[in-house]
Chains A and B, each alone.
Chain A
């Protein structure tokens, strides 16, 4: 009896430490900074070709070396034999971090009251802990432009990296004032305005845009002349576009609107990016001639008109590129930004080609956003944003094994993956007790 009691006590004692930590069972893996040697991979640099049996050294948040005989001294070595290294994928237009659950208005922050609110900062409202960020980055999308939407000038977009605990830690060094170009067309089945009304609304919106622009110009001239100005944050923000300090990101989609936008931009001498550009293929030559870069997408989308060929949304990027337009891609998404590589694959298959499609989600957006010195390719000196995959990251059958953002090794986990781990073999299973 005593012996039993003794062993019982021993058993209890043995259990103690387990009981003590039960409240915080399991380890949480955090993003980790350090010096990493990614050894012996096929490196798809994007700008300098594809290099076999090559290693990449990451330190101090940068790609410090790319080569075949790199020293592993002081570095954590990650064997990448048989794997591929790509630059981090960039989505040129999203609402990532600005919304959590789209049907719950309390969580929707990409749009504010008013038609002219260029001073609304996407970067202010980016939620670094949005579930969608963790879900997105393990797909290889490391950097996105996150864009306010709504009125004529809905706010200021910001480039963010998908790692960090504050918006400033995430900030990727590029901002642009968003503009929704006044539309002259019918917006689908639910738009029941008469043709006359649509025309009038279009003209009215265009006039408003022009008036606002003139005001902003006057504001800038006054500011330059040293005049004492009352607080006018909307005009202040727009004047930065006129002064060339900020780009103007113009959302424009139908062919006639695109042509109007080209005309509107002409002679303004500002930095312009067109985005959306769903019907770009109809006026690709004109866009190319105007030398305006384009962030187009979503690619997996429906044709804009019933009379269009079924594949026009897939083929649009390719047709733009063929005409000589510099093209980047976007999902225009929030929680589904992780699908960007697949959008790129569709663009590739329907005319853009694999190589150009890869550029359209790496070096091209980097160049369009003026950050190509830091992003968009695997080259020494650039930010350590890259991914390691078992194959082409545009293929669903490939697995992304590692993601690095700003030199941080990102844990390959998120709620989707944790739910998989918990529920694949649920315990208890079918039994009711």
Chain B
């Protein structure tokens, strides 16, 4: 019998392993720091106690229970682990651009826990990243929320299993370029983008009705109805309509943002976050009223036509209009200093320290549906923490240590010369990445073949 169980386990192999990955949890006492809780103000000369991956106490003069290491953080700052709501770090592939709708695609199938970008992000205090599908199609794949548990070889161990499902949508230049101009199919214009989304949702409604009809008939005696053909693609759209998946929509111009707001109103969808959203400031009241807000760049603009009429004050305008606003990277380079990017909201719009820090902690947590677990320093939350030398919003700030679930994954003092986990056997000569910034933006990765006619525009790299 026992043998059979082993066999069965072997049979299900990967599936079982994927869902029950062992996640390491740690305990630590951080002493005498300025604690920037983000949601409950700043606490001077205070301690944070972490037990078994969870924050259990915050206060003064806490003593370390037996067996728990104490870290003296006198003169340093502790803030919640930084959350990047738009990233492609830790992914082997970014785009499945074969159709305008590829909702069935899942980024968790292409997670690479050995991507050095994860360690580099940790060194910038980032503990969670939203590993997104690219922007080549209108409805892209489902994203993965990653916890930066560096050192694991198991993709499942770095996927935040208790995070809700999210999916990538994309409007504007990228999807119209790939399918309309690249392949001669809808959408070629922003009108077509709307049509693709509305057609998709309506087809999903029909699909859902078909199954409901079948399930009803199945229960009846003498049923002769056959089940509809199963479609993972349409089922995913149904799940969006049923509120089970948060849409994260790549968007730039105000008109396309407003379009999607009208669409979600018509289909009674509540869970939408706009990504990039460079012209979000123009429709900030609408974003605030009808959506879960916007996740934006601190100051990127002018790299393509649809971001030419941008303003670095975007985040401040959105925030002051009541929209949930986060600052993201979409870049293996920017992810390394999101604390600094958040600081730019003080130059451009004079936001308070608390508002600026919220944009890289609790606000992105809200947009990923994980604000009850992470995004602030509160008792009961997962112990994702960063210790900084200097205030994190200072341009001179240097992250010192980064913890995920109470486990220290980055320590500036213990940083090794070479942090790679894995070197390909085929790599005879180590490649040199010059102007690596241009390779850091991966929103349109893997779609080169669609761009023979548009090389110049695409090869620029920025999205």
Contacts and interface: CB of A to CB of B under 8 A. Distances in A.
A307 B418 contact: yes
Given A105-B457, A420-B316, A304 B436 contact: yes
Contacts of A108: 456
A190 B435 CA distance: 12
Interface in B403-444: 415, 417-420, 423, 428-437, 439-440
Contacts of B282: 423, 426
B394 interface: yes
A305 B419 CA distance: 11
Contacts of A190: 439
B257 interface: no
A103 interface: yes
A415 interface: yes
Given A101-B303, A420-B313, A420-B349, A304 B432 contact: yes
A347 to B, nearest CB: 10
Contacts of A132: 302
Interface in B311-330: 311-313, 316-317, 320-321
Given A191-B431, A345-B395, A419 B303 contact: no
Contacts of A339: 299
B393 A189 contact: no
Contacts of B350: 399
A245 interface: no
A104 B456 CA distance: 8
A93 B67 CA distance: 54
Contacts of B154: none
Nearest to A348: B396
B34 to A, nearest CB: 16
Most chain-B CB neighbours within 10 Å: which of A191, A334, A397, A420?
A397
Interface stretch (B4-12, B22-30, B93-101, B336-344): B336-344
Given A188-B431, A304-B436, 8 more contacts: A103-B456, A103-B460, A300-B337, A301-B437, A311-B123, A346-B337, A397-B343, A430-B285
A226 interface: no
A118 B309 CA distance: 34
A423 B317 CA distance: 7
A357 to B, nearest CB: 10
Interface in A263-288: 276, 278-279
Interface in B274-316: 281-282, 284-286, 289, 299-305, 308-313, 316
B349 A304 contact: no
B449 to A, nearest CB: 13
Interface in A80-117: 100-105, 108
Given A188-B433, A301-B333, A305-B430, A102 B302 contact: yes
Contact of A309 (B309, B349, B417): B417
A395 B430 contact: no
Given A188-B439, A346-B395, A195 B286 contact: no
Given A105-B456, A307-B418, A416-B313, A195 B428 contact: yes
Interface residues of A, number: 66
A349 B284 CA distance: 36
Given A195-B428, A301-B333, A342 B313 contact: no
Given A185-B432, A186-B429, A186-B431, A430 B286 contact: yes
A137 to B, nearest CB: 14
23 contacts: A101-B302, A101-B303, A102-B302, A102-B460, A103-B460, A104-B457, A185-B431, A189-B431, A190-B439, A300-B336, A303-B120, A303-B433, A304-B432, A309-B415, A310-B119, A310-B123, A345-B395, A354-B396, A394-B395, A399-B350, A415-B309, A419-B281, A423-B311
A426 B279 CA distance: 13
Interface in A333-391: 334-336, 338-339, 341-342, 345-346, 348-350, 354
Contact of A302 (B393, B437, B456): B437
Most chain-A CB neighbours within 10 Å: which of B116, B299, B340, B431?
B431
Contacts of A105: 456-457
Nearest to A251: B434
Given A301-B437, A423-B281, A416 B312 contact: yes
B420 A306 contact: yes
Contacts of A308: 418
Nearest to A279: B432
Contacts of B433: 187-189, 302-305
Most chain-B CB neighbours within 10 Å: which of A300, A302, A308?
A302
A424 interface: yes
A419 B302 contact: no
A253 interface: yes
B218 interface: no
B331 to A, nearest CB: 9
A186 B423 CA distance: 16
Nearest to A414: B311
A430 B285 CA distance: 5
B370 interface: no
B346 interface: yes
Interface in A104-158: 104-105, 108, 131-132
A284 B27 CA distance: 42
A399 B343 CA distance: 12
B411 to A, nearest CB: 12
A26 interface: no
Interface string A180-198: 0001011111110001000
